[in-house]
Structure 1
Amino acid sequence: MDQSNPSPHERPVPEHHGLVPLHGDLLARDPRHVYEALRRRWGAMAPVEIGPGVGAWLVLGYQEVLELVWNEQAFSSDARRWSAIAEGSLPGDSPLSAVLGWRPALDRLDDEAHGRQRQVVTDTLNGIDLRRLRGAVRQQADALLDGWDMNGTADLVTQYARPLVWYAFRVLIGLPGPGERTLAALLGSITGGAHDAARAEAELMGTMRRLVAEKRETPGPDLTSWLLAHATHLTEDEVAHNLASILRSGGESTIGWIIGTMRLLLGDARLGSAMATGRLTVTDVTDRALWDGSPVPNIAGRWARDDIDFAGCRVRAGDLLIPCLAAAHADLLVHSSHDVGTRAHLAWGTGSHGCPAKEVARSIVETAVDVLLSRLSPVRSVVSDPDLRWQPALWRGTPDELPVTFPPPDPMAATAAPVTTHTVMGVPEKRQEERAADSGPTVQRWGWWNSMNGW
């Protein structure tokens, strides 16, 4: 072979010119079409540009994605290995850093360091009372529907899924209310790859650090307090970063799952009929939605530890490889073999870095969908699925809108119960070494949060 003109697959990604740019307007519609075009051209793995001058490999095949996330000996989750940083092709304020940058949290660590934090987060999440969580989500969902205009139209993205999910996550981590709009704005900038993503990331981390400091002093019925109380003794900075990771990965994926399920139901009347006759359940349909449209089309990447041949391509040490779940789920080698309801999808990730909060997300999504179907039936889409508006983003699989119409409710009918304060966990006791009577003046709490509500 003429080494002076190697094929694109043989060139190290950062040095290859003419990469497919997965930034800008290319993803300004359902991104599955883009990924399928890449598969037709490149096969199981495509060389792409994820930011100006920043190359990566987009892994499109189902089996290749599995191998990538399982083979931790060859591929690392530690972004400090990223050659784009060492070579200076990634600007310090790049929006990509907000999602892909290194942090002392379980999603960006390997080996023993990862296992240590993974155990703490898993133990803490297992302490959530899912029955109480479903109750809190149901109450808030009813309250949102009660606040809709009585003309029988609404947008399920902006008026339902986003405020509902961020309410649930605010309760889970123990942020005082109201704060859903602030969380939505910060995480929207980060996962949407906005120009101010770095600033939003700094703002989010500042919020998490202040929350951790408050919960250290006064524990509450929330994840933050239990992370601090765990016997492994994570540092306050580790707790803050893990909280931010839970919000970063969990919020948008849960929103996308709700909307993906409703898009599926709105586009296929047979599913609604099957549910009405008891042949399918809400769980069946939500699982089907994970196959048909991954809530997060791409997950945070892996970095090659050494030079390696992978999926027919020559990958060099420090190259970034991004698992494309949306493409993997459309891989004809596996897609035709699954039945409705199968859980062989990759939406949770897999291996040691698989999502530890899937039952929490499932509780939120199934409750949200159940409330919609029970109160708004029959609900119909206003805009055809191909015509929905999308924000160009690698890390978000949700359209900007999902407008629907439904029979106007009877204004005299009783709906939601009066809103009450819900808790989904108990309150941990402080660690013994920290139990000391407060001798200083009383601290006025949450003033910092109140000042952010207009952000």
Structure 2
Amino acid sequence: MDRTGQTPAACPLRESPVPLYGGLLARDPRHLYDVLHRRWGAIAPVELGPGVAAWLVMGHREVLELVRNERAFSSDARRWNAITEGLLPEDSPLLAVLGWRPALNRLDDQDHRRARHAVTETLNGIDLRRLGSAVRARAGALVHAWAADGAADLVAQYGDPLAWYAFTVLIGLPESAQGEPAALLGALAGGTHDAARAEAELMRVLHRLVARKREVPGPDLTSWLLAHSAHLTEAEVAHNLAAVLLSGGRSTMSWITATLRLLLGDARLHAAVATGRLTVTDAADRALWDGSPVPNIAGRWARSDVLFAGCRVAAGELLIPCLAAANSELLRHGAQDLGSRAHVAWGAGSHGCPAKDVARSIVETAVEVVVERLNALRPAVPDTALRRRPSLWCGTPDELPVVFNPFGPAPGTAAAPPASRVVMGVPEKRRGERAGDGGPAPQRWGWWNSMNGW
């Protein structure tokens, strides 16, 4: 397992874990990861909460080993010793991201392959051209709302609502239902104290959506997952939708912010994109290196006692793949040139992100509209003053205030008609009803309850 040549004596001392919660992450997480890497090397002992120990895996080679070696490392949180030893309360915010659920990113082996096959095939049914048109129309409407002000917050007033709009279109939620789930996702990803309540509310919204789409299928991911030959239950469909929203939706929001922040901080890069000497694709890829939209991904658990990166990792211990640190290591060794996709921003192996093409379509369209329409765009506050939440899972600031030359619509210009929200077809037929599916509405599958009951 260990390819570093280290002996177990080189392990970090278990009695001195670094706390990765509270204000430390809110200041400069990338600097923190660099400090940890210099101090510990490829793997560091950390605490995710008081008394909740884990390993932060920061070496590029070690991150790839961790996410690819499914024989040694599991995605199933029911192995987590913090749970089996009673160290986590039922309402711990850590469970919102790390807890077990019947979804592709928290399953192993055949169960994982079955769920991933259904989600991947369903995502492949999206017409990216139509999605791009819908996103462009909504982006234009968002810009129009504040263009005359000469100032805006490109997170709260643009990137976040635009990405969330795209994902509500994809899963089939009506526009009237956008606000509450967006706030719930923010609470989950931000690790707030009410994450357990937010998880319960989000799952209620998704269960209701799945029940409606069972009765009246539409041109959306929910209907296609219900119709897929993998025969997912309604509960499994709801939890896979939650995974798509939490992993795909939140990472897309962060990627938009990271790309716009990169352009704001690099006048030459911004000018090169604005004049066509570089493409928005180049800038978006650069942001995956420099901006760390998703600094860490949900962890892996050792299936048995193992020697990893020179350290003895006990069965059931949690290891967090730190994508931000892994990319920084590549940068230090000169592996990145503009546009290179050697980064690990999408993860790797069989659990790599299945929605990267969808995310790229949304992000590039969002950035293109800003570059095309906002003249003399510049930051309203220094980058170091940007507000950010202390979260392992959010790599970008919570705000991006900018100023620009104000403008309004040309006299006599009529508002453009709204673009179609249809980005995929309707399933031709639903899968046959199976025993149990026509019974009472499914119970609330809280992720903590799922650990105890499934």
Instruction: Tell me if both proteins adopt one fold, taking TM over 0.5 as the criterion.
Output: yes
1:383–1:403 CA contact under 8 A, matched in 2: yes
Unaligned runs of 5+ in 1: 1-5, 436-455
Q: 1:52 to 1:7 in 2, by over 3 A?
A: farther
Stretch deviating more after TM superposition (162-171 or 406-415): 406-415
Q: Which digits, 9 at most, give the CA deviation of each residue in 1:269-318, with x for residues without a partner?
A: 11122224433101111011101122111000000111111112111110
Give the corresponding residue for 2:323.
325
Matched, 1:9 2:11: yes
Cα distance in 1 for partners of 2:72, 2:410 equals 63
Q: 1:373 to 1:424 in 2, by over 3 A?
A: same
3-state SS, counterpart of residue 37 of structure 1: helix
1:252–1:295 CA contact under 8 A, matched in 2: no
Give the corresponding residue for 2:447.
none
Give the corresponding residue for 2:136.
138
Stretch deviating more after TM superposition (275-284 or 394-403): 275-284
Q: 1:96 aligns with which of 94, 108, 126?
A: 94
| Equivalences for residues 387-398 of structure 1 within 5 A | 387-398=385-396
2:10–2:310 CA contact under 8 A, matched in 1: no
| Equivalences for residues 1-400 of structure 1 within 5 A | 9=11, 16-148=14-146, 150-332=148-330, 335-400=333-398
Cα distance in 1 for partners of 2:309, 2:10 equals 13
3-state SS, counterpart of residue 26 of structure 2: coil
Cα distance in 2 for partners of 1:10, 1:39 equals 11
Equivalent residue pairs, number = 426
1:146–1:415 CA contact under 8 A, matched in 2: no
3-state SS, counterpart of residue 50 of structure 1: strand
Q: CA deviation at 1:430?
A: 3.0
After superposition, the CA RMSD in angstroms is: 1.8
Cα distance in 1 for partners of 2:183, 2:149 equals 28
Cα distance in 2 for partners of 1:27, 1:254 equals 21
Q: CA deviation at 1:119?
A: 0.6
1:95–1:194 CA contact under 8 A, matched in 2: yes
Cα distance in 1 for partners of 2:338, 2:137 equals 30
Unaligned runs of 5+ in 2: 1-7, 435-454
2:60–2:330 CA contact under 8 A, matched in 1: no
Q: 1:335 to 1:409 in 2, by over 3 A?
A: farther
Q: Which digits, 9 at most, give the CA deviation of each residue in 1:164-212, with x for residues without a partner?
A: 1111111100011223221221000100000000110111111111111
Matched, 1:418 2:417: yes
Cα distance in 2 for partners of 1:432, 1:238 equals 15
Cα distance in 2 for partners of 1:386, 1:182 equals 30
Give the corresponding residue for 2:450.
none
Cα distance in 2 for partners of 1:145, 1:410 equals 10
Give the corresponding residue for 1:446.
none
Q: CA deviation at 1:421?
A: 4.2
Q: TM-score, with normalisation over the residues of structure 1?
A: 0.90
1:30–1:390 CA contact under 8 A, matched in 2: no
Q: CA deviation at 1:432?
A: 6.2
Q: Which digits, 9 at most, give the CA deviation of each residue in 1:93-128, with x for residues without a partner?
A: 100001000011110111111111111101000000
2:144–2:408 CA contact under 8 A, matched in 1: no
Query: AA paired with 2:11?
Result: H
Cα distance in 2 for partners of 1:276, 1:28 equals 32
Stretch deviating more after TM superposition (152-161 or 384-393): 384-393
Q: CA deviation at 1:335?
A: 4.8
Query: AA paired with 2:158?
Result: Y
Q: CA deviation at 1:423?
A: 0.8
Cα distance in 2 for partners of 1:117, 1:40 equals 39
| Identity %, equivalent residues | 68
Cα distance in 1 for partners of 2:255, 2:431 equals 41
Give the corresponding residue for 2:446.
none
Cα distance in 2 for partners of 1:333, 1:382 equals 29
Give the corresponding residue for 1:442.
none
Cα distance in 2 for partners of 1:423, 1:75 equals 40
